[in-house]
């Protein structure tokens, strides 16, 4: 234990290194390095050791604590890679500015600020084409007439619907028309609108993949509908299980299920369409990240095989940025008026100027060029994540690797998912446990959802190393 000195510890940018009060318990099974790292992180997060404080040299602190110098060096090194310390050869080790707490959408609760955030499905914000988007936005703002600067209308800007009709037909095989496309504030709103229409039509239950994106299950519940969990395996949704239930619609991501990444097989695609034709049920196709594929041929949209039985939902949240809040629905003809009415009473239409800018971006080929440019970058990130997992967590099994911006990482059955997630968060790495995406989380096998899209390759490697260290 080092000598306490509250005056020295309270000064920032001090000329002299601060003494530290650190207690190590040699009777605990946890290593002395892990204890030291945890104690230093706690002191920094609580501002007991504020930003700018010079920490003792590794040799000095090791002597004070009665431990090997390597224990301090490794602890300092880990905290530096996690973003808590600035450490450079030949200069003092100082505390960086770190936020003390944050809220993770109510699900993770209050946690220390994370320097590495493995958020599933998020694109790299640094890849957003700012300059080109600015040109299109300015052009749209210049060209729009005074008469058009009113409420946008529930279907959305005709220029965007026309551009999307061409793009979706060419790239995703979607068979639609501008009159059957409706612009939304992302897929979240799209699903909310559809659930409202389904409930008004008398539908009481909607089938979802199990596991599925947990937010979608909550949307179904909040709409007053009953979610029915249908298992997903390596061939996608188990259609045989689907036919055993009385349901009015099924929500599915056939090109890349979330979070497991399964692709609906050809036989099951046919069986699902047969179910829709025979039962009159609606298929809601979530085509959230089909543009990002690395090791497989393109998979066309399900909607193109049965346009009057499938609603095709997409957005730019994964391809450009979720900050735009723009998505779309390609609707069967008999649903257009009802969904448009839901949209009208929800928000009177999506923001117009962003729609017009996106229309120019898509119609001018900028969107396709952007996707061609970023695919190799995301593939390298994917490869980095796979290699890092193989080195640091060789007994873990990544799934869904052929496409998308995340990996579903199966953990050994004896692994405690919640404990691993909590310990990683304490060490500055936010990683999502997969269990909440399952209908019965307490029965879910231990797994992680590892979103790599928004991170640099070095951060991917460092973050996975931290997660792996939490198992020791």
| pLDDT digits 0-9 by tens, 194-204 | 999 999 999 99
Q: What is the pLDDT of residues 216-253, one digit of tens each?
A: 999 999 999 999 999 999 999 999 999 889 999 999 99
For domain 128-364, give the CATH number.
3.40.640.10
Provide the CB-side half-sphere exposure for 325 (13 A, CA): 8
Which of 83-87, 164-168, 423-427 has the least mean pLDDT? 83-87
Which residue do the tokens 């405690």 mark?
Answer: 416
pLDDT band at 115 (very low <50, low <70, confident <90, very high): confident
CATH 1.10.10.10 location in the chain: 6-95
Instruction: Measure the CA angle with vertex 149, ends 363 and 157; round to 5°.
Output: 30
pLDDT above 50 (res 367): yes
Kindly state the average pLDDT of the residues 163-183.
97
**Residues composing the chain:** 472
Residue spans in the chain of domains classed CATH 3.40.640.10: 128-364
Quick one: average pLDDT of 127-141?
96
What fold, for 6-95? Arc Repressor Mutant, subunit A (1.10.10)
Q: What is the pLDDT of residue 27?
A: 76
Dihedral (Cα; 159, 161, 167, 168), 10-degree rounding: 180
Tell me the pTM.
0.76
Q: Is 92 helix (H, G, I), strand (E, B) or coil?
A: coil
Segments of the chain assigned to CATH 3.90.1150.10 = 102-122+370-469
Give the model's pLDDT for residue 3: 39
The pLDDT value recorded for residue 18 is 64
What pairs with residue 184 in β-bridges? Answer: 327
**In whole angstroms, what separates CA 324 from the centre of its chain?**
16
| Domain 102-122+370-469, classified CATH 3.40.1260.10, yes or no | no
Q: What is the tens place of the pLDDT at every residue in 295-314?
A: 877 889 999 999 999 999 99
Residue 429 DSSP symbol:
E
Q: Is the pLDDT of residue 29 over 90?
A: no
**How big is the CA angle at 374 (ends 369 and 377), to the nearest 5 degrees?**
155
At residue 99, does pLDDT exceed 60?
A: no
CB within 8 A of 301, min separation 6: which ones?
Answer: 168, 172, 173, 174, 255, 285, 287, 290, 312
């Amino acid at each position: 234990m080092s000598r306490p000195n509250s005056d020295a510890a309270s000064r920032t940018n001090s000329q002299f290194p601060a003494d530290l009060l650190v207690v190590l318990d040699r009777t605990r099974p946890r290593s002395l390095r892990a204890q030291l790292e945890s104690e230093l992180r706690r002191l920094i997060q609580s501002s007991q050791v504020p930003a700018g404080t010079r920490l003792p040299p590794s040799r000095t602190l090791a002597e004070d604590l009665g431990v090997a110098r390597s224990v301090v060096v490794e602890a300092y090194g880990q905290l530096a890679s996690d973003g808590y310390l600035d450490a450079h050869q030949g200069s003092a080790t100082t505390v960086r500015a770190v936020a003390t707490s944050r809220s993770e959408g109510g699900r993770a609760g209050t946690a220390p600020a994370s320097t590495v955030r493995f958020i599933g499905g998020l694109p790299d914000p640094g890849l957003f084409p700012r300059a080109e988007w600015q040109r299109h936005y300015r052009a749209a703002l210049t060209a729009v007439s005074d008469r058009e600067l009113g409420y946008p209308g529930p279907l959305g800007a005709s220029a965007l619907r026309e551009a999307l009709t061409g793009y979706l037909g060419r790239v995703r095989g979607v068979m639609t028309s501008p009159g059957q496309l409706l612009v939304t504030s992302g897929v979240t709103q799209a699903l909310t609108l559809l659930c409202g229409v389904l409930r008004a039509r008398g539908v009481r239950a909607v089938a979802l993949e199990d596991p599925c994106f947990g937010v979608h299950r909550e949307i179904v519940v909040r709409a007053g509908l009953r979610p029915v969990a249908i298992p997903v395996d390596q061939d996608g949704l188990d259609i045989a299980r689907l036919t055993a239930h009385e349901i009015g619609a099924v929500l599915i991501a056939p090109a890349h299920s979330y979070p497991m990444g399964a692709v609906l097989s050809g036989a099951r695609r046919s069986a699902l369409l047969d179910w829709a034709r025979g039962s009159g049920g609606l298929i809601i196709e979530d085509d959230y990240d089909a543009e990002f594929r690395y090791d497989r041929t393109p998979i066309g949209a399900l909607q193109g095989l049965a346009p009057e039985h499938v609603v095709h939902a997409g957005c730019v949240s994964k391809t450009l940025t979720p900050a735009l809040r723009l998505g779309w629905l390609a609707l069967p003809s008999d649903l257009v008026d009802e969904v448009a009415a839901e949209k009208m009473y929800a928000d009177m239409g999506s923001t117009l100027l962003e729609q017009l800018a996106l229309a120019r971006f898509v119609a001018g080929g900028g969107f396709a060029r952007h996707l061609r440019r970023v695919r190799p970058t995301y593939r390298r990130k994917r490869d980095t994540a796979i290699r890092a997992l193989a080195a640091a967590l060789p007994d873990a099994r990544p799934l869904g690797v052929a496409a998308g911006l995340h990996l579903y990482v199966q953990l050994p059955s004896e692994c405690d998912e919640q404990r691993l997630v909590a310990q990683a968060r304490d060490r500055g790495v936010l990683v999502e446990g997969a269990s909440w995406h399952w209908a019965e989380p307490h029965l879910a096998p231990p797994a992680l959802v590892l979103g790599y899209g928004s991170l640099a390759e070095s951060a991917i490697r460092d973050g996975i190393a931290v997660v792996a260290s939490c198992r020791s």
